[in-house]
């Protein structure tokens, strides 16, 4: 199977057992389980940002080896547990990351930055400037730029986007977008209420998303909804202004 498996829990917890050990992943954390070949999620190139900012390598956690002696699941069709690993060595392992440790960047001048400045992990493509998938987080942060339109986003739209909300309210869709909800976007913008408010408010420093946490997958590839997700489509989403 191609690609990495990504987990972003919104409620409850994920209890994951792998050959490398076990991980408990709570809302606000993400997990990556590498698959077999080809491109994988990695930290983005920081360039002029330098050594600090965005996600720090030291904050990613890997499992401690977990030895399971007995085969407790007959579905394996083997005479022992596949999780009978007492130790592992190397860096090709599952991991998790607490988004509360993500240090977002933003403009302190006049322009609204592209959402790529919020990239936690990226799976690069063969074409610079695009990605197979970027994973982006929108945590609490300050907004201070002037002489501009602040809400998301006046930016490139060459990427398909899957936006999800873990908790709180999203600053570009204050109504009708609840935690656990998600949206697909191609060319897009904020809803009418957000647009009007942002067009007339005083541009002073303000703290946004104080109790919120949103995430986004950006991809240069086309996205689609699986049959599993179709029954939960919110038909009136675009009318909730």
Is 170 annotated to bind a ligand? Reply is yes
Beta strand pairing call for 21-25 and 60-61: unpaired
User: Is 161 marked as a binding-site residue?
Assistant: yes
3-class SS at 106?
Answer: coil
3-state secondary structure of 94: coil
188 is in an annotated binding site: yes
**80 catalytic residue (yes or no):** no
Alpha-carbon span 34 to 97, nearest angstrom: 14
202 is in an annotated binding site: no
Question: What is the rounded distance in angstroms from the CA atom of residue 116 to the CA atom of residue 225?
Answer: 23
| CA distance linking residue 183 with residue 194, whole number of Å | 17
CB 139 within 8 A of CB 102: yes
**Cα–Cα distance, 8 to 31 (Å, whole number):** 7
179 DSSP 8-state letter: T
Catalytic residue chosen out of the listed positions 40, 80, 89, 112:
112
Binding-site entries for Fe cation: 155, 161, 188
Active site residues: 112
Residue ranges of the annotated binding site for homogentisate are 170, 188
Annotated binding site: 155, 161, 170, 188
């Amino acid at each position: 199977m191609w690609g990495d498996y990504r987990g972003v829990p919104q409620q409850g917890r994920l209890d994951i057992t792998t050959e490398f050990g076990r991980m408990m992943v709570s809302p606000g954390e993400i997990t990556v389980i590498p698959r077999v070949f080809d491109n994988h999620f990695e930290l983005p190139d920081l360039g002029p940002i330098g050594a600090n900012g965005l996600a720090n390598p030291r904050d990613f956690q890997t499992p401690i080896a977990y030895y399971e002696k007995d085969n407790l699941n007959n579905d394996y069709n083997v005479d022992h547990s596949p999780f009978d690993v007492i130790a592992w060595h190397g860096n090709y392992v599952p991991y998790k990351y607490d988004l509360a440790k993500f240090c977002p960047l933003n403009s302190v001048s006049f322009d609204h930055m592209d959402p790529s400045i919020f990239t936690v992990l990226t799976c690069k493509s063969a074409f610079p400037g695009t990605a197979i998938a970027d994973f982006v987080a929108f945590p609490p942060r300050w907004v201070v730029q002037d002489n501009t339109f602040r809400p998301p986003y006046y930016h490139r739209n060459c990427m398909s986007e899957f936006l999800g909300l873990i908790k709180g309210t999203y600053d570009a869709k204050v109504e009708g977008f609840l935690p656990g909800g998600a949206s697909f976007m191609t060319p897009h913008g904020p809803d009418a209420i957000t647009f009007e408010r942002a067009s007339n408010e005083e541009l002073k420093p303000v703290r946004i998303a104080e109790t919120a946490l949103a995430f986004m997958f950006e991809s240069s590839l086309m996205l689609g909804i699986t049959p599993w997700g179709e029954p939960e489509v919110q038909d009136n989403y675009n009318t909730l202004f």
